[in-house]
Amino acid sequence: MHAITIETPGGPEVLRISSQAVPTPGDREVLVRVAAAGVNRPDCLQRLGRYPVPPDASPLPGLEIAGEVVAAGGSASRWRLGDRVMALTHGGGYAEYCNAHEDHCLPIPTGMSLTEAAAIPETFFTVWYNVFMRCKLRDGETFLVHGGSSGIGSTAIQLAKAFGCVVITTAGSDEKCRFCENLGADRAINYRDEDWQQIVGNYTGGRGVDVLLDMVAGPYMQKNLDSMARDGRYVIIAFLQGPVAELNMRVVVAKRLTLTGSTLRPQTIEEKTQIAKSFAENALPLLESGAIAPTIYETFALRDAALAHELMESSRHMGKIVLTVADESMKKELS
């Protein structure tokens, strides 16, 4: 099969298309013929050598895919050959074939393209797990997400709004703010031109936000803590401005705040299964109904993965970036 490999840690140019052996599915795994694969920040960090690959994971990048089940490993029984699935993977998504645990696969919503479906598992699972399962965001609460025009941000806005929350977000341009508002954000703040912390305080009447999803960290962390409501929950999933900050923790004690964080890849098989199950039961119906949908900014052919990474790291995109892996005949066959 064709696959994208990382020759050595470095810039996008180290991504190379090469010939690799088709993987053999292990126990309770299925082999998926990949039609499309989502591109995510952890892929870029892996390429840079800053996101260690777990010893049991594929060394190939790619954490989410959509395609057709073509083989099953020992005791795997949930899916039949020919089923169309979207899947969270343990690496290996940038390839024509990829293994996935059978419980980490979900059916593709009716009418959704394989390209759209490939933009769901890593991104939607991450938001669902951190915002709804860990922080327990509830109807009527106020939610703040930084980087609202990103894949994670655009997903978080839609999910929070769909569950009846007031949504505030930050973004880096007026165009990106309008994009966020079109997705449902009640207030989008251009952090380059406006004091987002002051606006959040004014918008909430000084109360602050109940749940905050942070991908920035660094100098944002104290401002985030100061922007929380009493009993607020603050979750960190990335460190775009660094993982180190000096914090005055008095506000945590005074407001009874919960500070937490996670990344999806290190979770155990059983933990990922529970995330997939919870998402399928509670949020998948919203995708089925069309109430929410992945937002695709641009697609690239598999061999152009380097260009996809360049776009990701430029932060010009609004929504998701996806690699189209299958050739035209396969895409017609799977459509």
Query: Which structural domain, as residue segments, surrounds residue 241?
Result: 124-261
- pLDDT score for 51: 87
Report the distance separating Cα 138 and Cα 333, nearest Å: 42
Containing H/E element for 170? strand 166-171
- pLDDT score for 304: 98
Clarify whether residues 102 and 152 are in a common domain. Answer: no
Question: Is residue 92 situated within a structural domain?
Answer: yes
pLDDT in tens, 34-83: 999 999 999 999 999 998 899 999 999 999 999 999 999 999 999 999 99
Clarify whether residues 147 and 58 are in a common domain. Answer: no
Residue type, 120: I
Mean pLDDT of 9-33: 97
Clarify whether residues 85 and 8 are in a common domain. Answer: yes
pLDDT in tens, 293-326: 999 999 999 999 999 999 999 999 999 999 999 7
pLDDT band at 334 (very low <50, low <70, confident <90, very high): very low
Question: Is residue 203 situated within a structural domain?
Answer: yes
Clarify whether residues 64 and 106 are in a common domain. Answer: yes
Mean pLDDT of 98-109: 98
**Percent of the chain scoring above 70 in pLDDT:** 97
Clarify whether residues 68 and 149 are in a common domain. Answer: no
- Our count of domains for the chain comes to 2
Mean pLDDT of 119-148: 98
pLDDT at 328 over 80: no
CATH number of the domain enclosing 165? 3.40.50.720
- pLDDT score for 240: 86
Q: Tokens at residue 27, please? A: 């126990």
CATH number of the domain enclosing 43? 3.90.180.10
pLDDT in tens, 216-241: 999 999 999 999 999 999 999 999 88
Please report which residue ranges of 184-268 form alpha helices under DSSP H: 196-203, 220-226, 250-255
Clarify whether residues 184 and 198 are in a common domain. Answer: yes
pLDDT band at 2 (very low <50, low <70, confident <90, very high): very high
pLDDT in tens, 254-277: 999 999 999 999 999 999 999 999
- pLDDT score for 327: 55
Contact of 185 with 156, CB cutoff 8 Å: no
Question: Is residue 229 situated within a structural domain?
Answer: yes
Backbone angles phi, psi at 67, to 5 degrees: 175, -150
Backbone angles phi, psi at 157, to 5 degrees: -60, -50
Clarify whether residues 174 and 244 are in a common domain. Answer: yes
Question: Is residue 282 situated within a structural domain?
Answer: no
Clarify whether residues 146 and 107 are in a common domain. Answer: no
Of 204, 238, 261, the position where a domain reaches its end is 261
Please report which residue ranges of the chain form alpha helices under DSSP H: 41-48, 114-117, 121-127, 151-162, 174-183, 196-203, 220-226, 250-255, 269-282, 284-289, 305-314, 328-334
Residue 290 burial class via C-beta count within 10 angstroms: exposed 0-12, middle 13-18, buried 19 and up: exposed
Clarify whether residues 160 and 104 are in a common domain. Answer: no
When mean pLDDT is compared over 22-26, 48-52, 241-245, the highest value belongs to 22-26
